[in-house]
Structure 1
Amino acid sequence: MWTRRLAVAALGVFLAVPLSAEVAPLKVVATTGMIADAVRQVGGDAVEVKALMGPGVDPHAYRQTRTDIVALTRADLVLWHGLYLEAQMESFMQDLSEKRTVVALADQLPTSILRGHDDYDDKFDPHVWMAPALWKLMIDEVETALSTVLPEKAEIFAANAQAHQSELDALVAYGQNTLSKVPDNRRVLLSAHDAFGYFGREYGFEVMGVQGISTQSEAGLNRISALVDMLVDRQITAVFVESSVSDRSVRALIEGAAAQGHEVQIGGELFSDAMGADGTYEGTYVGMLDHNITTISSAFGADVPARGMNGKLSAGF
């Protein structure tokens, strides 16, 4: 009788578990929106992603909150950018890596393809997302990280990565075609901080920032004065503000040029260290770069599609 009761109890437990139960999604925490988007593209339904830094957030200055710490310590996988982008979080991430699976994705890239850092001899420009061709390499790193933690889904991750990289190939081509319409004498991209170096290298623009690679670097009066003189001497008519950086220094340039009788306008707001609003096209990596490419091209007089590469941009041109 006792044996029969045990058998019935065991059968009840077995029947209580759905036969088609799915494995819970992999919990991934990413520091930036760009990395979170990459994880969603590669991981699909197999991942549940949380981004610590939302629209308008500057990763150079960001410090983890108590809520972040809880999410990070409970994650199956933590992905951060590295290359000293999240400078204020480095020590925490290094400590966390002793307890959780933590990967600094951009640190895996070969240094031969990276730009030097203007403030530190032993570090590199972290803004690799500004060049879609480089971001394809970051997608490979995301695929590797996910497959290492969840090897049974490796084939799915590989297929998703390849499909997304095809989208990035189309983005590269759109950038080359659209930005090539900007006349050579106008190919100067000046913004709040030096976030567009890889963009300039890929698309043939001279790039300048009021501040250096990090938003934590200071822009002195001599720097402002030199840039104003450059705008006037070279008759540059458009400069750009950034969604995650104060526009105060850029507006100082415009006022300085005006004092010398030269009119400079804001060519538009660019996404530099953060993407657009969640749930929007600009809140995806492709949408972010589509916006930047189309905005820059339009500001310098190039003929651009009314709503960008995919016809999805929120604002028309």
Structure 2
Amino acid sequence: MRRLLGATVAALAMALTGCAGAAGGDDRPHIVVTTNILGDVIAGTVGDAARVTTLMRPNADPHSFEISAREAAMMREADLVVSNGLGLEEGLQRHLDRAAEAGVETYVAGERIDVLDYADGESAGTPDPHFWTDPARMRDVVDGLEVAVKDIEGIDEQAVAQSAAAYRTELEELDQEMTESFASIAEQQRSLVTNHHVFGYLADRFGFRVVGAVIPGGTTLAAPSAADLRDLTEAIERADVPTIFAESSQPDRLIQVLADEAGVDIEVSELFTESLTEKGEGADTYLTMMRANTERITSGLSSGPTD
């Protein structure tokens, strides 16, 4: 358990250096979160009971983003560090390890859910870290976080309980909206293709088939071969999908090439899957992101089979 003095020192240092999320004189417990999707969910869960700093900038790639030396030092002074885990933060793991070694309390969201493994590709058999595409699993993350933050010295447990209950209700409403929207997609049209394997949890929760991905592994740092693209083109033709999906945090050049290669009339629709956006760009909160994706998936896959 970290003393409040550490959080206060970190807050003052951030105010002097201009780091994002700093608030001079703010003596609330300080929670540092790796990814912006988790950061938004954590902020919604704890409300005003803690100061939440998110390291990953909007529209960044969680597999490869990096942090400054000051941000790394801030992690080692936090009252709690929250990460996704399951191999997602590939460029940040050494800093997470050092914070843990320094005695900082940690909460790894991926350890609190029912984990799925990748079914195919280069990552087959390894844990899939993209669990946020399933709001039911995000409720599990909120439940675990509510327990974890109550151990922070100086935390207002009643305020956390109220905020967590309200946010949990919002997740339940989101889950119901997604269920109702996806119910309008015919069974034979529930096939997903995207940049890389990111929809395993959504598919598991809502009854979709993941036909394949342009990038063959679970990370955006990999690259497809000509054989990968050829195999995926054949899979798309067999599944007769009307739309393939490009992620907003990655250029859609490869997926557009794939659409052209398939030789069929196929749409390319952008989804928000790996990162939140800046305000006004369509997905500045987790709830907004999921609703936007639900609408685009439903629209893209309800258009009927291709000719």
TM-score over 0.5 for the alignment?
A: yes
Distance across 2 between alignment mates of 1:125 and 1:45? 32
Q: Return the offset for 1:240.
A: 0.7
Q: Are residues 1:136 and 2:128 paired?
A: no
Partner of residue 246, structure 1: 251
Q: Are residues 1:96 and 2:99 paired?
A: yes
Q: Where does 1:62-211 land on structure 2 (aligned, <5 Å)? A: 62-109=65-112, 113-117=114-118, 119=122, 123-150=126-153, 152-207=155-210, 208-211=212-215
What stretches of structure 1 move > 3 A for 4+ residues in a row?
A: 117-123, 278-281
Q: Return the offset for 1:101.
A: 2.1
Q: Name stretches of at least 5 consecutive residues in structure 1 with no aligned partner.
A: 1-21, 303-317
Distance across 1 between alignment mates of 2:68 and 2:253? 27
Q: Are residues 1:300 and 2:301 paired?
A: yes
What root-mean-square deviation, in Å, do the aligned CA atoms of Structure 1 and Structure 2 show?
Answer: 2.2
- How many equivalent residue pairs? 275
Whether the 8 Å CA contact 2:282–2:292 is kept in 1: the answer is no
Partner of residue 52, structure 1: 55
Distance across 1 between alignment mates of 2:103 and 2:36? 21
Q: What secondary structure is seen at the aligned counterpart in 1 of 2:106?
A: strand
CA-to-partner distance for each residue in 1:157-199, whole Å, 9 max, x for gaps?
1221121111111111111100110112211111001011101
Whether the 8 Å CA contact 2:136–2:175 is kept in 1: the answer is yes
CA-to-partner distance for each residue in 1:39-58, whole Å, 9 max, x for gaps?
21122112222211122211
Relative to structure 2, which stretch is displaced further, 131-140 or 217-226? 217-226
Q: Name stretches of at least 5 consecutive residues in structure 2 with no aligned partner.
A: 1-24
Partner of residue 277, structure 1: 278
Q: What secondary structure is seen at the aligned counterpart in 1 of 2:151?
A: helix
Q: What secondary structure is seen at the aligned counterpart in 2 of 1:139?
A: helix
| TM-score, length basis structure 1 | 0.80
Whether the 8 Å CA contact 1:33–1:51 is kept in 2: the answer is yes
Give the aligned residue type for 2:243.
A
Distance across 1 between alignment mates of 2:146 and 2:101? 22
Whether the 8 Å CA contact 2:191–2:239 is kept in 1: the answer is no
CA-to-partner distance for each residue in 1:68-89, whole Å, 9 max, x for gaps?
2243234332211111110222
Whether the 8 Å CA contact 2:63–2:90 is kept in 1: the answer is yes
| TM-score, length basis structure 2 | 0.83
Q: Are residues 1:24 and 2:27 paired?
A: yes
Give the aligned residue type for 2:213.
G
